[in-house]
Structure 1
Amino acid sequence: MSDLAVRAGVSTATVSRVLGGKPGVRQATRDAVLTAMEELGYARDRQPPTRAGVVAILVPELSNPAFPAFAEEIDTLLFSAGHPNVVLASGAAGTSEVQHLETLAELSIAGMVSVSGTPADTLASNEPYQRLISAGVPSVFINGYADNLQGAFFSCSDAEAVTSSVAHLRSLGHTRIGLAVGQPKYLPTQRKIAAFRSLGFTPEDVASTIYTAEGGQLAASRLLDSGHTALVCGSDIMALGAIREARARGLGVPRDVSVVGFDDSPLMAFTDPALTTVRQPVRAMCEAAVSALLGAMHGTALDHTEMLFHPDLVIRSSTGPAS
């Protein structure tokens, strides 16, 4: 394999994929490896055993219901296309994303889908993903974008999510509207803040914490202290934390404070009150991502332009007229 890699000018990992009949290798590269085999006098007596068709699905965690929704949809689409898959969840208490990627680099996977992974973190290194892609693994990314990765990118429009949320709250008479989001290093956070500020709000109207219920409660505390009567949250989980903070202060939702979430995670229609939220078009995003991945696994080049999807504002009981 080393001899073939040197002769063909490729990596040994690429040679392995060609010899194993794996998808995701350009035809010109495949031809170069086969030509090198002929020139060096190598021949294959049999095809090596493979696990062709296995796709890895990476998600940040499974405790946040937004991510299992993506994993389930991707799994259904891949399985119906004849490709089994494995779901790998990372988190602070378990295996990290980097550890998963290092493991995948040692396996013969057919493709990879990353949901809200490292490419969504502007301060993190994408080098583990670059190694997999360089080894010929077709990769698509949902809600994460990096121009140094040769993958395909599919994201929900954070700008449209914020704009529709603010328009709804303003139609209810709210003028003191605050934005509760995660850490500024995350690309979705940056995009939400930029869209929010473009609507005439100031830095004092933004509270950046973490994407958890506790983070939402802390952000709400800061914004309520400064007189805001309506909160746009970066996730449904943060929105639930914001509602908890309002109630801890003896405030009613939506009587005194209106709250808007983001994701429309399962069960948000059954919270008390039912949560007004921005729904990500999960199925449409997953269909586009899986379609691109399957095409790449059969030799079609990936388009690296990020595709943005339109979200929908779902109005429920957590928003009401300004008091």
Structure 2
Amino acid sequence: MRIGITEIAAHAGVSEATVSRVINRRKGVAKATRDVVERAMDELGYERTAPGQLVAVITERVSNPFFADLAERIEATLAPHGLKMILCPAFPGGVQEREFIAELADRGIGAVVFLSASNTLDNADPETFEILRTRRIPFVAVNGGVPGHDAPVFSTDDDLAAEIAVDHLFRLGHRRIAMVSGPKGNGPADRRVRGFVTAMEKRGIPDAGDWVIRQAYTVEGGQAASAQLINAGATSVVAASDFMALGIIRGARRHGLTVPDDLSVVGYDGTMITEFVDPPLTTVRQPSDRLAGQVGHTVLALMSNREVPTGELLFDPELIIRATTAPPRDGA
């Protein structure tokens, strides 16, 4: 039988929240109660794993260099303070994500980082976050908050990202600008679409929503979208991820088009690989260094029971101009 917080609480006759505080060596537990819980742990044979020194990072897209880089940078911020990061790849809002949290909560996890996980979904299952709330385990979120929880949120400003991408293409002379974004109900995807439509309308381009294509955040998703935007007569496209942008380029080539002569492409994320593809990708770079640093320092503060600002903190992205954007052919 696996011994966890629930079993310890029942054996000691205290709440699960009290057991969690004892496991994580937090304040607010009387010595007599703490002794009872410690004795119950010994009697049940519960082994604490690096009490309070583990930080879980929940993310879906480990294969995406941006998320891998961000996780690595978060770990680099935590490691000098004796904290160990556990990377938990899980489908957002799925059973595996909830099981990761439940298992790690039982083992005395110190904090959790939701790295574009279920915090990006509309109407995500609240059970995962309730486990953390009831056990007093702090968490922070990247690229989307959690309704009903005042956890700190750190995000790239998606509205500004869309604005600077559209502005770049508009200045080159493009007017038939399309956008390929992620599925509806995904917070960052929806915000990027909103920013795109606003940027287009601000420049007097009507019916901007008609130029939006929704697809998966993958190379294949971008490739599938390429046929639609080509048939629509787009001369340029803003992609919601670098992987999507690379798929669009591949799809355009298979339709006999060249980039950027026939189609200009702007990506989003700004991972190092975009500098070495052919042609090098123009992209909107997310500030992974500043994001990771702020996430790491906030986790440290929360684990030290210090107050931190709540709500969403937005970080400015930057446009990196390379070789996939140019004026439209023949001024089209």
Q: Does residue 68 in structure 1 map to residue 68 in structure 2?
A: yes
Q: Once the 2 structures are TM-superposed, how far is the Cα of residue 154 of structure 1 from its aligned partner?
A: 0.3
1:233 aligned residue (229, 235, 239):
239
What is the root-mean-square deviation of aligned Cα atoms in Å? 2.5
- Which stretches in structure 2 are left out of the alignment for 5+ residues? 1-8, 202-206
Equivalent-residue separation in structure 2 for 1:244 and 1:226 (angstroms): 18
C-alpha distance in 2 between matches for 1:18 and 1:4:
14
C-alpha separation in 2, matches of 1:19 and 1:5: 14
Q: Which amino acid aligns with 2:30?
A: L
Residue number in structure 1 paired with 2:151:
151
Counting only pairs closer than 5 Å after superposition, residues 1-323 of structure 1 correspond to structure 2 as 1-2=9-10, 11-12=15-16, 14-23=17-26, 27=27, 30=28, 33-34=29-30, 37=33, 50=48, 51-52=50-51, 53-91=53-91, 96-199=96-199, 200=201, 201-323=207-329
- Give the match's secondary structure for 2:169: helix
Q: Tell me the amino acid that sits aligned with residue 34 of structure 1.
A: A
Alpha-carbon distance change, 73 to 215 in structure 1, aligned in 2, over 3 angstroms? same
Instruction: Give the conservation status (yes or no) of the 8 Å contact 1:279–1:311.
Output: yes
Change beyond 3 A, Cα 1:15–1:60? same
Q: Which moved more, 1:74-83 or 1:237-246?
A: 74-83
- How far did 1:120 drift? 0.1
Structure 1 residues 253 and 44, CA, compared in 2 at 3 Å: closer, same or farther?
closer
Structure 2 vs 1, CA of residues 272 and 43 (structure 1 numbering), >3 Å: closer, same or farther?
closer
Partners of 1:156 and 1:5 in 2: CA distance: 45
Contact 1:130/1:149 (8 A) holds in 2:
no
Distance 1:226 1:132, change over 3 A: same
Question: In the TM superposition, what is the alpha-carbon distance from 1:202 to its structure 2 partner?
Answer: 2.2
> Cα 1:101–1:172, aligned 2, differ >3 Å: closer, same or farther?
same
Point out the more displaced range, 245-254 or 103-112: 103-112
What is the CA distance between 1:125 and its match in structure 2? Answer: 1.4
Total equivalences in the alignment: 308
- Please say if residues 59 and 116 of structure 1, whose CA atoms lie closer than 8 Å, have aligned partners that are also in contact: yes
TM-score normalised by length of structure 2: 0.86
Percent of aligned pairs with the same amino acid: 32
Aligned partners of 1:168, 1:260: CA distance in 2, in Å?
Answer: 9
Supply the distance in 2 between the matched residues of 1:190 and 1:315 (Cα, whole angstroms).
24
Give, as a single letter, the amino acid of the residue that structure 2 aligns with 1:145: G
Give TM-score, length-normalised by structure 1: 0.88
Question: CA–CA distance in 2 between the matches of 1:316 and 1:60?
Answer: 29
Q: Distance in 2 between matches of 1:80 and 1:320?
A: 45
Q: What letter corresponds to residue 217 of structure 2 in structure 1?
A: Y
Unaligned ranges ≥5, structure 1? none
CA distance in 1, matches of 2:33, 2:273: 57
- How far, CA to CA, are the matches of 1:123 and 1:222 in structure 2? 29
Which piece of structure 1 moves more, 273-282 or 102-111?
A: 102-111
**Change beyond 3 A, Cα 1:45–1:97:** closer
- How far does residue 91 in structure 1 lie from its aligned partner after superposition? 4.4
